[in-house]
Amino acid sequence: MTPDSLTITPTNDSERYIQDRDLNLTAAVRCKSYGLFSSLLASSHEIDVGKQLREVAGMDNFCVYGIDLGALCGTYLSVDKLARKNEYSRLFEIGDSGPPVAIREQQQFGQISGIREDLVRFYEFFDYKIHQHYAWAPDHISVILEFTHLLCYYESVVSEDQLSYQLAQYDFVSRHLVDWAPIFADLIDNVQPDSLYADIARSLCLFITRDHEWQASTIFPMERSGDNG
Amino acid sequence: MARQVAMVIDLNKCIGCHTCTTACKSLWTDEPGQEYMLWHNVETKPGPGYPENWEASGGGWENGQLKPGQLMSKESHGTECSVNHEAVFFDASEIRLRQDEKMKVGSNWNEDSSSGEYPNNYHFYLPRLCNHCTKPSCLEACPVRAIYKREEDGVVLIDQDKCQGLRACNTACPYKKIYYNHVTKKSQKCIFCFPRLEKGEAPACAKQCPGKLRFVGFLEDEDGPIHKLVYEWKVALPLHPEYGTEPNVFYVPPILPNAYDDNGDISDDPRVPIEYLRQLFGEEVDGALITLDVEMERKKQGKSSQLMDLLIAKDWKSMFNIPDVRIE
Amino acid sequence: MKRTQKMASPPQMPASKGRRTFLRQLLASSTLLTLNHAPIAASAPQPSGEKAYRNFEDIYRKKWTWDRVVRGTHGTNCAGNCAFNVYVKDGIVWREEQQGVYGSSGDAPDYGPRGCQKGLRHSKYMYGSQRVLYPMKSIGERGNGKWERISWHQATTEIADKFLDLVVAHGPECISYGSGTQMALKRASFCSLARFANITGVTVPEFLSGVGDLPSGIQMTLGQIHTSDTMAAVYKSRCVLVWMSNPAVTRIPDAHFFWDAKYNGTEVIAISPEFTPTAMHSSLWVNPKPGTDTALAMAMVNVILEERLFKANYIREQSDLPLLVRMDNKRFLRAEDFATQSDATADGGGFYIWDEATDSVARAPGSGTGNDQAATLKLGKLRPALEGRWRVQGLDGVIEVTTAFELLKVRAAEHAPELMSELTGVNANVIRKIARTFAAAEPAMIFSGYAACKWLHGDILQRSMLLLLSLTGNIGPEGGGLQIGNSAKTQTMAFAFDGIGVAFRGISGTTWDYDHAKMKQLNQETYGKKLAQEFDDYYQESIRKGWYPSHSSKGWKMGFFAGNNGANWRASGKRWRKSALEELELIVSLVPDAGVTSHYSDYVLPIAHHYERADMMLQSRTPYVQVLDVAVPPLGEAVDDWEANRLLAEAIGRRAKERGIGIIDDVIDGRRVQRDYRRCLELYTMNGKIKSAKDVCQYIIDTTPGIPKIPFAELAEKGVVRVNGSERTTWDDKETTYHSEVFESVRDKVPYQTVSGRQSFYIDHEWFLEFDEALPAHKKPLHNEGYPLRMMMGHARHGIHSMWRDDSFLLSLQRGEPDIYINPDDAAERDVKDGDTVRIFNDAGEFFAMAHLSAGIQPSMLFMYHGWDPMMFRNRQNFGAVISTAGLIKPTSMAGGYGQIGYKPARFSPNQTYKDFTCDFEKASEEVTAGEPA
């Protein structure tokens, strides 16, 4: 980070606006979906997400982008608690020289700088304050998903300037989820295919990819020249 | 009147610890696209340096014209580093903790790879940053005039808004101290920590150097150590003056212990061949070395020496003389 | 941002008939918003114009400000503990920068900003994947990489149960608790270990000798081991021999003093086989062959003696050189040799000189007990002769005597420069030149390091260095002396004993391993039956004589390793892992970062890192106390060492009560000690008085001489505080915390804590006489038969032991993997090119590294920086693979019953040998590098 903002990257040369988006149909659903994925990927050593998941597991046909979230939550709840904790920590939290699969974005993309700064700036901008206990890992995938969930929540409840939250969601997912989710899923597949978290990661990957696509389809005009990945 | 901030680096004290490099890296080049950049680096000399073989890459001036130069590949700056902590899990006994990719080139690959022949080998460390030249070839070369030199302190900057990523500056700089950001598609380089200068604070590479070997101040400040070292004592020299850009970072050339003669006795010959030092600093280096020798000898005899006192720098803070840069 | 197609499918399947119901259900469900990681947000902010988000640059407009700037440092044993500002925002450490507030000592240049590149990386490293974040338990075979995350409660309970099982069955002696680099120098942390150990009686191997850092030669000579001053003292010297040290690499924050001194007219002479970064800037570089340093030192002694450059009055008063030695048995003339002395004491006290003033034998001042003379070294009217031969009337007739000085001359003559030239590879003129320069300088200093201790005969090297200094009157003056290390007189052990008494089981790390890790066998395999037997004979004899304790009776069953990566650096690599570590029933590591030792542990407990804890450090190199403070809470479930031991104490106490374990009888140094493990926690916390590491720090502040009596909060706010009585560059003020007793002897003429009361160069212990080591002499280092190359090692620039060695940025400033420096001719002979993977091997083992050619390396030697963790090597074998020296317990290092020479953990005990081995290298075969990324 810099004392003053120095490396100004190129601005979009056109302003963006949202079209073809029915808030009533989409905002709450997406909010809930991101929230669920955040819960599914939280550490069960730290957080008990049973209540949130049971709600949804009970719903018929909670399908989002063709992904049966209700069933996924049900699967999660059906796995033995201890087995689930062990699976989680062995994949994401402990290991000989660290865990085999990075659950923090900076861990995954060690070479690329500025990830945590970008996250923290987003969080600050939208008054998302992480509890001191988790503050050290703002790039934890569960936290990143939770923040996205918050943005969707705001989109669904504010009375004006939904645009801020809509554009923020898109940019945030573009910068912090859309590239990572497939890698995350692939790594888990390599280490422990046929596991609960392999399922969750695959579903997440699908969800992110499709949601990102859908979001993009509602945003006009998009930047046309070049791409900075 | 234009003012010029300058730096003097005493190569007799540099121990190659890279605190300067790390200070710069953590302050400025920690954003996407900047991973391979070392706006400040330290290299072992003789050696190919960073980027590899930059001294043979052209650029600078020749007969009043821009001399053509080479575009240095990203690879020539060294393989980036990411340790495979996660992969060690896969097969506990086989996989070792290492770089994801085997390094073949690095910014400091030749660390302590001494030249010559034992026991008359020689090497030393050379910290390098943008020289904020008085006649910057990069500024001249930019087709869209994105590079400018500040009146108040002579710092040379690339306007990130104007830059079109044409990279003419990359090739024009004979020191190869301009780097292309492949993510933002702009060229970037050392900014001499100008936000710090504006608060009266020396650049991080200088201020955080534990070696107490870097002076920062204004060239025209006659009372300051820089003026004395460059103009009065003439022991602080520009690197590769023949490039013609009139750099404003100066070096006090290194004096290593004398070489051995054929019998293994200590000879009077300097360890670093004078030809090599002339290659780096020009013919003026001869005089600088003599001056340093003479003054060191005075101290050995118990006499006083202003030059030695300057270079010893008993008071660390006196090495930095940056008044408020904003002028009315 | 990728261009996307329009009309991507929306979140919900179109026109599903249950959709409305579903939405109603959803909206009717409990709060839509669930924040697991953040307290519930206030109702949505209504962004106004400026707060509107339109583009990601908007989030970069706000000026970045710090929430807090905390003082801190890196609590590792580089002994720099440089003052840093640590910058925190949103509960994350983003960067650090040196505080830049140091002053100066005397009229030397000020200390400057200090710091180094590793410290500057810590804000990144602390978040790296190598961090141990949660308590882990190993599943299945040790080292198989399978772990389970468990709670602290479960971990400590299970550990406590095993602990108590062993204590009940065998006593606490069979359980070791070793500290290391990452723990030992932080005062509160070490106090926590010491107190825990005092309560429980676990065996604490001191870590000096265990890593080959014990300068026993200094103890033998001066009766103390800590002699050094601040780094600024270098500036006050007129000639510095930098010998067995590479400060340009290992004293980064303070190396500038050497070059400042050089500019100031000081002759800085670097002595090393290879051209080091220190040699680079020195006035002179002298390049003896590896292992010939004592020969060089004694050759210099010869020059000083022959050319009469010694300071006669100094050595008459301060050293044992004028003392009379019997020519028949080469023992000092002692009181009991005299027929006529009626006050002869039986304790070996009482040595003699030949008084030139009266031309008669006289009692040497400072020796013996029960008379006024013993209390001072002052000569008064005496003029002790240095040279001559005389006869005295002894109990059994006439005894011919001479001085130790005369015997030294003979010994020195055997090391004349012309004779030592070929052996050392140093031209005789050069030897003479540096001897003369050294002798003429007032003062002169030998700046050394623990490398001087790592040769089998390193003690002799230290003795010869001290001899050089003493002959020239340089032990004592500001700017003189042997600069190896000094220890703060913090009341660590007082803290440990407070309210409990002395029940601490501290032992030598080297002999512990010898007893438990089949070292005799190792010696046999490497150096042959004869040596192995000889070394073992003396070892066992020493134990029989009661000079050294035996550790073998109880066995070694459990080990705690705190900040200690023993499996990295033990001088027999994988072998130690097999013969020692893997024999243990339980292994517990307490570490912030993963390393090879934690891989082989049964439990790994996460420890807070440098910016996540309160503690304090003092190192003699600068006159400052340095704080560590909590910039951010420990990551994950890590805790600081104080808290970790508190949790262990709690579990032990709880389980002891639950299991009804009563008082256990123990014996410490022959005294009966009763241990009630049920009271573990209350004893540990001093009945609740000590609640945290801060309280421990306050205790240290309150009780340590020389530290200003301030509250910890003030130290935390200031970051650095100057120690009292530290205006000079030397620690010669009794009130200050590093006071070196040398000054009392030199300045105040108080006798040394040695048998003779003087600097002891002539050691007439029977074993020393047997091995002809009564006086220093060059002794050939050991080698591995058939292997011609010495592999020398040194502390690295880009890491402190294994910490930061795997930092990605620092690796990018090297070659990304362990590399070994090789002379180009040696490489060419073996068809090895720069960058090739090479195999380094001898009969003990092999390891692989990248060849790094350099003309600075002396032919027939290799050089490798240490600290690379075995995890970074193929087959998890690092350089330890070829080091076979762990069993080399030098017989004279097991000597006892001789005043300053006798078992005293952390002062006199066998030192771990590291350097007496040889090896060879070759290009690694294709199979080794096949399949690796090109």
Model pLDDT, residue A140: 97
pLDDT in tens, A50-90: 988 998 887 777 889 999 999 999 999 999 999 999 999 99
In chain C, the domains with their CATH numbers are 136-214+488-722 (3.40.50.740), 216-306+416-483 (3.40.228.10), 312-409+737-770 (no CATH), 790-883+904-929 (2.40.40.20)
pLDDT in tens, B42-86: 999 999 999 999 999 999 999 999 999 999 999 899 876 555 554
Task: Give chain B's mean pLDDT.
Answer: 92
Model pLDDT, residue C42: 52
Q: What's the Cα-to-Cα distance from A63 to each of A56, B171, C15, rounded to whole Å?
A: 11, 56, 13
* DSSP labels, C331-365: PBPBGGGBSS-TT--TTS--BEEEETTTTEEEEPT
Whether residues A97 and B81 touch (CB distance < 8 A) is answered with no
In a mutational test of the A interface, the residue from B24, B25, B28, B31 whose CB has the highest number of chain A CBs within 10 Å is: B31
Q: What's the Cα-to-Cα distance from B178 to each of A126, B28, B213, rounded to whole Å?
A: 36, 14, 24
Edge-to-edge strand list for the sheet holding B237-238: B214-218, B5-10, B249-252, B237-238
Model pLDDT, residue A223: 55
Query: Exposure pattern of C438-471 as b/e (b: 16+ CB <10 Å)?
Result: bbebebbbbbbbbbbbbbbbbbbbbbbbbbbbbb
Edge-to-edge strand list for the sheet holding C612-618: C612-618, C624-630, C720-722
Model pLDDT, residue A5: 35
Model pLDDT, residue C895: 97
Whether residues A98 and B85 touch (CB distance < 8 A) is answered with yes
Chain C residue with CA closest to A88: the answer is C149
pLDDT in tens, C359-417: 999 999 988 655 555 689 999 999 999 999 999 988 878 999 999 999 999 999 999 99
Residue C774 has pLDDT above 80, yes or no: yes
- Which band of pLDDT confidence, cut at 50, 70 and 90, is reported for residue C8? low
- Which band of pLDDT confidence, cut at 50, 70 and 90, is reported for residue C802? confident
pLDDT in tens, A170-187: 999 999 999 999 999 999
Instruction: Supply the ipTM of this predicted assembly.
Output: 0.96
Please give the structure tokens belonging to residue A24.
């009533």
Q: What is the CATH number of the domain that holds A40?
A: 1.10.3480.10
How far apart CA C701 and CA C706 sit, in angstroms, is: 9
Residue C2 has pLDDT above 50, yes or no: no
Question: What's the N-to-C CA distance of chain C in angstroms?
Answer: 33
C104 and chain B in contact, CB less than 8 A = yes
Residue B327 has pLDDT above 50, yes or no: no
The answer to whether residue A170 is domain-embedded is yes
Nearest neighbour of A7 by CB, restricted to B92, B97, B160 = B160
C924, C793 Cβ separation under 8 angstroms: no
pLDDT in tens, B249-285: 999 999 999 999 999 999 999 999 999 999 999 999 9
Q: Which residues of chain B neighbour C116 with C-beta distances below 8 Å? A: 17, 19, 210
Model pLDDT, residue B99: 58
- Which band of pLDDT confidence, cut at 50, 70 and 90, is reported for residue C79? confident
Lowest mean pLDDT across A196-200, C60-64, C259-263, C571-575: C571-575
Please give the structure tokens belonging to residue C410.
């003979």
Average pLDDT over residues C718-744: 91
Bond before B51 cis per omega within 30 degrees: yes
Lowest mean pLDDT across A117-126, C586-595, C772-781, C923-932: C923-932
The answer to whether residue A225 is domain-embedded is no
Whether residues B191 and A6 touch (CB distance < 8 A) is answered with yes
Axis crossing angle, helix B19-27 with helix C117-125, rounded to the nearest 10:
40
Residue C343 has pLDDT above 50, yes or no: no
How far apart CA C237 and CA C454 sit, in angstroms, is: 26
C797 and chain B in contact, CB less than 8 A = yes
Chain B residue with CA closest to A1: the answer is B27
Residue A190 has pLDDT above 70, yes or no: yes
Number of domains in chain A: 1
Look up the domain containing A90 and give its range. 18-220
Nearest neighbour of B90 by CB, restricted to A4, A100, A102 = A100
Model pLDDT, residue C347: 43
Lowest mean pLDDT across A92-96, B67-71, C215-219, C876-880: C876-880
Model pLDDT, residue C297: 98
Average pLDDT over residues C24-39: 77
How far apart CA C811 and CA B84 sit, in angstroms, is: 12
Give all chains having 3 or more CB-to-CB distances under 8 Å with chain C. A, B
Q: Which residues of chain C neighbour A217 with C-beta distances below 8 Å? A: 4-8
Q: Which residues of chain C neighbour B210 with C-beta distances below 8 Å? A: 82, 98, 112-116, 252-256
List, in order, residues 6 or more apart from C846 with CB less than 8 Å away. C839, C840, C877, C881, C882
Between A107 and C50, name the one with better pLDDT: A107
Q: From the CA of C881, how many Å to the nearest CA of chain B?
A: 16
Whether residues A135 and C29 touch (CB distance < 8 A) is answered with no
Between A158 and C930, name the one with better pLDDT: A158
Cα atoms found within 13 Å of the Cα of residue A183, Cβ hemisphere only: 15
pLDDT in tens, C418-432: 999 999 999 999 999
C558, C162 Cβ separation under 8 angstroms: yes
- The two counts, helices (H) then strands (E), for chain C are 32, 32
In chain B, the domains with their CATH numbers are 5-81+105-319 (3.30.70.20)
Which residues partner with A103 through β-bridges? none
Quick one: which of B181, B136, B225, B174 has its CA closest to B28? B181
Task: Give chain C's mean pLDDT.
Answer: 91
Whether residues C121 and B96 touch (CB distance < 8 A) is answered with no
Which residues in chain C (573-602) have CB-CB distances under 8 A to chain B?
A: 599
Model pLDDT, residue B55: 98
- Which band of pLDDT confidence, cut at 50, 70 and 90, is reported for residue C933? low
Chain A residue with CA closest to B162: the answer is A10
Residue C4 has pLDDT above 50, yes or no: no
- Which band of pLDDT confidence, cut at 50, 70 and 90, is reported for residue C554? confident
Q: Which residues of chain B neighbour A89 with C-beta distances below 8 Å? A: none
Average pLDDT over residues B172-200: 95
For chain B, percent helix, then strand, then coil, each to nearest 5? Answer: 25, 15, 60
How far apart CA A20 and CA C90 sit, in angstroms, is: 37
In a mutational test of the B interface, the residue from C275, C423, C852 whose CB has the highest number of chain B CBs within 10 Å is: C275
How far apart CA C460 and CA C775 sit, in angstroms, is: 8
pLDDT in tens, C815-854: 999 999 999 999 999 999 999 999 999 998 999 999 999 9
Model pLDDT, residue B17: 98
> Residue C56 belongs to what H/E stretch?
none
pLDDT in tens, A90-120: 999 998 878 999 999 998 987 666 889 999 9
C826, C917 Cβ separation under 8 angstroms: no
Model pLDDT, residue C144: 87
- Which band of pLDDT confidence, cut at 50, 70 and 90, is reported for residue A8? very low
Size of interface B-C (CB pairs under 8 A): 236
Lowest mean pLDDT across A105-119, C22-36, C51-65, C900-914: C22-36
Whether residues B188 and A10 touch (CB distance < 8 A) is answered with no
A146 and chain C in contact, CB less than 8 A = yes
Q: Which residues of chain B neighbour A8 with C-beta distances below 8 Å? A: 160-161
Instruction: Read off the pTM.
Output: 0.94
